[in-house]
Amino acid sequence: MNLEQLRSFAEVARIGHFTRAAERLHVAQPSLSRQIAGLETEFGVDLFHRARGRVTLTAAGERLLPLARRMLADAETARGEMAELVGLARGRVRLGATPTLCTTLVAEALAVFRSRFPDIDVEIVERGSRSLIETLGEGGLDLALIVTSASSGTGRAALTLDPLLRERLVAVSAADAPDPFAGDTDPGAPITALSLARLADTPQIVFPESYDLRVALDAAFAADGLTPKVAVTGAEMDATLSFAERGIGVAVVPAMVALERPNLRITPLADPDLSRTISVARRADMPATHASAAFRAVVGEVAANLAQTHPRQPRYLERVRST
């Protein structure tokens, strides 16, 4: 068994097709097939079901896949560690982050990191927190910026979690339209905190059910016996913000996403549990490389600066200091 065999196996498993996996790996398809056949001969089991050009993992393949990914990741870590020990200037950080954090905290941190360490490559994987935790556990990432709510967790004891910021969820609406949450007695007076009942009575733009934010908000409505009005459902973050700016409905989003959009009116939610914690996660059993440790330091610095200095955020971001 060698790393090329494992790399071929993992790529076929990911794509589900031998020819396309060979193209991705820049090898001839017969060569890739021989790599897989060699693995199957060594283990004495079939790793894939092959039918009509589509391949799927057998039970043995499913058992091998997380091990193969971990071995490939450990090999990459070893290369990086050895390169740093012999004094090579270049390095790499494999960073995972949620889509909302990629457009806010990660963008700020990358700008600072690249100015200080221009020869270190950063590879970004953009997914939801649950998928990032799984990839991190398999060794496919060095660091992951994830979000957790009061009722959620990582589900993995083997991960080290370093909280950075606590971020409020806020309701956003079109800044150039009448405030949908203005006070009943004085239509020109904005409310200081929005109740779930008032929010539920206002047409909303809601995210797909796969969004952690959607899950948390649905649970909050259900706990209070509320059924929210829905204007549009299934929109991703960028579309949701654009729809809200045009007055199509209101949306509940993380505060950082709204802070940089002056065309949105921000209304805080009254429920303090409707917040999320932004943390840096890494595998506890894998030592940090110098490059990943440097990025971790930069993202902590940027997070602290956002919490202290952003002109629109006096109530929405709070730095979390590790104990």
Do residues 131 and 56 both lie within one domain? no
pLDDT at 311 over 60: no
In whole angstroms, give the CA distance from residue 252 to residue 256: 12
Rg of the chain over Cα atoms, rounded to whole angstroms, equals 23
The string of DSSP codes covering 43-60 is: HTS--EEEETTEEEE-HH
Do residues 123 and 27 both lie within one domain? no
Do residues 154 and 194 both lie within one domain? no
The phi, psi pair for 168, rounded to 5°, reads -75, 150
Do residues 149 and 284 both lie within one domain? yes
- Write out the two tokens for 92: 């790499």
pLDDT of residue 309: 58
The phi, psi pair for 285, rounded to 5°, reads -95, 10
Do residues 118 and 183 both lie within one domain? no
Do residues 11 and 138 both lie within one domain? no
Tell me whether residue 323 is in a domain: no
Given 275, 292, 318, the domain boundary residue is 275
Tell me whether residue 217 is in a domain: yes
Tell me whether residue 211 is in a domain: yes
Tell me whether residue 316 is in a domain: no
Do residues 178 and 236 both lie within one domain? yes
Residues 6+ apart with CB under 8 A from 238: none
Do residues 158 and 284 both lie within one domain? yes
Q: What is the pLDDT of residues 181-229, one digit of tens each?
A: 876 444 454 556 789 999 999 999 999 887 888 888 999 999 999 999 9
Range(s) of the domain holding residue 11: 3-64
Given 44, 64, 84, the domain boundary residue is 64
Query: In this predicted model, which residue has the larger pLDDT, 306 or 168?
Result: 168
Do residues 282 and 150 both lie within one domain? yes
List Cα–Cα distances, 113 to 85, 122, 248, in angstroms.
Answer: 21, 9, 38
Do residues 292 and 260 both lie within one domain? no
Given 20, 38, 64, the domain boundary residue is 64
Tell me whether residue 132 is in a domain: yes
Tell me whether residue 315 is in a domain: no
Which CATH number characterizes residue 198's domain? 3.40.190.10
Tally Cβ neighbours within 10 Å of residue 84.
15
Give the mean pLDDT of the chain.
84
Do residues 158 and 282 both lie within one domain? yes
Q: With CA atoms as reference, report the closest residue to 253 among 99, 107, 144, 125.
A: 99
Q: With CA atoms as reference, report the closest residue to 172 among 234, 102, 254, 100.
A: 254
Tell me whether residue 204 is in a domain: yes
Q: Write down the number of H helices and E strands in the chain.
A: 12, 12
- In total, how many domains does the chain have? 3
Q: What is the pLDDT of residues 85-133, one digit of tens each?
A: 554 456 788 999 988 898 889 999 999 988 888 878 899 999 888 889 9
Tell me whether residue 129 is in a domain: yes
In whole angstroms, give the CA distance from residue 109 to residue 20: 35
Q: What is the pLDDT of residues 230-271, one digit of tens each?
A: 999 998 888 999 999 999 999 999 988 888 788 999 998 888
Which CATH number characterizes residue 8's domain? 1.10.10.10
The string of DSSP codes covering 227-239 is: ---EEEES--HHH
Do residues 141 and 76 both lie within one domain? yes
